[in-house]
């Protein structure tokens, strides 16, 4: 469906959507199977809780909706929403969803202390507050980028008024 790609643009190809759909299909299948068991069935309780906890942890399911019935209501978008790429854009670290992907690929983004350069990285709820510009990135407190350093060298030799076209 082109709708998904329009809203969650910046996916490299359909496979990225299919992968999420497949994950969702497996989760829903498991939930459907568990729903056929009795409420108190140990397997339903144990496996059901495992699924629900996992979904809550990655932020796809609300804590107050921890019921298997709600799992069946999940959409592909709920998962795409949790991609690092979407989060970097939503947090305002990137100007667009495409920009977000570029920043991630070019190692400008870290989650906690770790640089993550995988746009499809699923951001857990507890990690969401820790998405930030990488420490040694030129956007952060790292040294200036290659072009700026080159300009500065050129400027130092010349008149040195080369700063009107800096990023």
Tens of pLDDT along 150-159?
Answer: 777 887 765 4
Measuring CA to CA, which residue among 116, 56, 59, 58 is closest to residue 88? 116
Q: How confident is the model at residue 136 (pLDDT cuts 50, 70, 90)?
A: confident
Decide if pLDDT at 42 tops 80: yes
Q: What is the pLDDT of residues 43-76, one digit of tens each?
A: 999 999 999 999 999 999 999 999 999 999 999 9
Q: How confident is the model at residue 6 (pLDDT cuts 50, 70, 90)?
A: low
């Amino acid at each position: 469906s082109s709708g998904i790609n329009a809203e969650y643009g910046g996916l490299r190809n359909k496979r990225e959507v299919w992968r999420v759909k497949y994950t969702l299909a497996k989760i829903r299948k498991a939930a459907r199977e568990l729903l056929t068991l009795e409420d108190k069935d140990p397997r339903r309780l144990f496996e059901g809780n495992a699924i629900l906890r996992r979904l809550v942890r990655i932020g796809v399911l609300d804590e107050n909706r921890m019921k298997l019935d709600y799992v069946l209501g999940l959409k592909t978008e709920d998962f795409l929403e949790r991609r690092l790429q979407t989060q970097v854009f939503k947090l305002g670290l990137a100007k667009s969803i495409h920009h977000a992907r570029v920043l991630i690929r070019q190692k400008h983004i870290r989650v906690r202390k770790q640089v993550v350069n995988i746009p499809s990285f699923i951001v857990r709820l507890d990690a969401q507050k820790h998405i930030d510009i990488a420490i040694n990135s030129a956007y952060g407190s790292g040294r200036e980028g290659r072009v700026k350093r080159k300009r500065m060298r050129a400027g130092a030799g010349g008149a040195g008024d080369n700063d009107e076209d800096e990023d």
